[in-house]
Amino acid sequence: MLRVILIDVDAVTVTRPDRDLLRDVSLTIDSGDRIGVVGINGTGKSTLLRIMAGTLEPDQGTVRRGSGTTVAVLDQAAPLPAGTVLEAVGTGWEAESILDRLGMGAKLDARTEELSGGEARRVALAATLLSDADLVILDEPTNHLDIAAIHWLEERLVHHRGGLVLVSHDRHLLDRVVTRMVELDRGRAYLHTGGYDGYLAGRAEREAQQARQDDVRKNLARSELAWLRRGAPARTSKAKAHISRAVDVVEYKAPVAARSGELDLHTAVPRLGDKVIELHGVGHRHDERWLFRNLDLILGKGDRLGIMGLNGSGKSTLLDVIAKRIEPVEGRVDYGPTVQLGYHDQIGMTLDPEQRVRESVTGGTREADWRDKALLERFWFDDDVQWAPIRQLSGGERRRLQLVLVLAEHPNVLLLDEPTNDLDLDTLRALEDFLEDWPGTLVVVSHDRAFLERTVEDAIVLDGQGRARRHPGGYGAWEQEQRVRGSHRRAFSASADAAANTTSRPDRGKNRVAEKVAEKVAEKVKGSSGRSVSTIRHELKEAEKTIARLEKRMAALHDDLVGAGADHAALRRLGDELGATQAELAGVEDRWLELGAELEDR
């Protein structure tokens, strides 16, 4: 197939009052290119896309487009024309099919001005996908899509024949769809071959090379500084400026990319008691339609629960019920006495645009201490940005700040409603690393598959018909079951008599339980023990704790074996203990499987 140049971006620069947002950025897009654009919030991803689309002119540089090249754009703030949903997208069976796939099939005749923000985005995405443009530009297309719609979108983009430029925080989507990655970092653009994995490898190599160059620079400076200090007093007095500059070089710290480092919030999470949150016979409805009924749920210390379902199935409503923002129509919600709740919803806290970033964390009632500064820095708000007024932040940076403000309250129970929307990949990884060892209890609504894989261990699936199914094993268990059934969308409304089947993504490689569960996919439960649900869940939780303890013990034994060297007596003793631990773990894993299946059958 003949490849033609669609867009050539040459030495583009966009200046902001405090810095260059983009500096000498050059990029050529051919007809067969599938390019992903990544970078932390505020690095200019949306700006670059608008320049490519021709809706924004750069301060410097040129943008050339191929003769007759057509461009279709999904912007984060694109307005819809007045009229019905179907009129905004186009007539015909394909328009109706795409809208149905994106969860808008029931609103074809709705007026666009009456849609919610998420619904309007889905309609705009449908219109963009239906266009016959040479180049399709998508800015965060998975925002406001449920998991079923994301799977469908991924397949469509894989088979897209024209050029594609994509900004997304969905790592699965990037890895499956794109062939090249553009990384924006402090005004510069870096090109990486391959998908998301290629970008990670390329960035790691670039940062390693930068570190090597910094080491060479410092070594040369140390040699010169030593020479200067050994000189005669007269020459030394004349060389004070040279010595000062050499000292500066030696003490110089290379600018750290805002996306590097690990997240350590330095916050003391209050200890939770044995009772955290319990839901007893909870049900809620919208008008006459029940979203969920007869829901019993016990959340304990350190639990990691995901809530999944199609758009409109009641995920955010359930989170509001758990948070006691709304009273359920039936049933009750009980809190333990030690619960301190933090809730990061889709709207976020109201921010004062004139308040400085640092003041927002302290409430403006005290001076920021080192904990406040460390928290902001770990979420990529450096010292300069901390003193900036909030009105200067990008939309993604404001969303990131809203998350920081929730964490600054030191909650021990954290509720997150679509936390990945408008956050960059580096912030997501940092948040995932934080939650990995966080001692509190987490409940999260998310459509981000990688985020769910890394953060939740159990899941509630709402089918939109009033039923709520619990899946031990979390997203991986649910996804494996849907692969067996062959459809993610149909699976949400499937009957609750299917067994809980799980698999594990490499991101959660330390979970050996999931590997055994995957071998028993589609296993049915025969009969019921008649035991109470609460008893089964208690035993399931105890089994999970035992598994975690045994896996930790096995890891320690492996380390001891490595350190034993040629001590044959120690090797024999450690080998025997390792074998016994493995056998014990296998038995507990089998019991965990039986309990999960028994719970699912109930």
> What pLDDT shows up at residue 17?
78
Sorting pLDDT into bands at 50, 70 and 90, what band is 295? very high
Q: What is the mean pLDDT of residues 237-257?
A: 52
> What pLDDT shows up at residue 513?
39
Q: What is the mean pLDDT of residues 10-31?
A: 91
Strands 71-74 and 304-309, sheet pairing: unpaired
> What pLDDT shows up at residue 566?
64
Q: Decide if 356 contacts 387 (C-beta within 8 A).
A: yes
Q: Decide if 136 contacts 128 (C-beta within 8 A).
A: yes
- Of 485 and 89, more confident: 89
Residue 9 has pLDDT above 90, yes or no: yes
- Of 312 and 276, more confident: 276
* Gap between the Cα atoms of 244 and 597, Å rounded: 70
Q: Cβ atoms within 10 A of the Cβ of 55, count?
A: 13
Burial of 435 (0-12, 13-18, 19+ CB in 10 A): buried
> What pLDDT shows up at residue 242?
54
Q: DSSP string spanning 4-44? A: -EEEEEEEEEEEETTEEEEEEEEEEEETT-EEEEE--TTSS
- Of 560 and 515, more confident: 560
> What pLDDT shows up at residue 239?
52
Q: 240-251 vs 196-230: helix axis angle to the nearest 10?
A: 150
Sorting pLDDT into bands at 50, 70 and 90, what band is 411? very high
Domains and CATH numbers, the chain: 5-200 (3.40.50.300), 277-518 (3.40.50.300), 533-601 (1.10.287)
Q: Which of 22-31, 117-126, 197-206 has the lowest mean pLDDT?
A: 197-206
Among 541, 534, 509, 490, CA closest to 436: 509
First to last CA, the chain: 56
Residue 88 has pLDDT above 80, yes or no: yes
Tell me the pLDDT tens digit for each residue of 535-555: 777 777 778 778 878 877 877
Residue 516 has pLDDT above 50, yes or no: no
> What pLDDT shows up at residue 497?
35
Residue 29 has pLDDT above 50, yes or no: yes
* Gap between the Cα atoms of 518 and 564, Å rounded: 34
Q: DSSP string spanning 227-245? A: HHHHS-HHHHHHTHHHHHH
Tell me the pLDDT tens digit for each residue of 137-185: 999 999 889 988 999 999 999 999 899 999 999 999 998 999 999 999 9
Q: Which of 32-41, 216-225, 393-402 has the lowest mean pLDDT?
A: 216-225
* Gap between the Cα atoms of 77 and 47, Å rounded: 12
H or E stretch at 278: strand 277-286
> What pLDDT shows up at residue 524?
34
Sorting pLDDT into bands at 50, 70 and 90, what band is 281? very high
pTM for this model (two decimals): 0.69
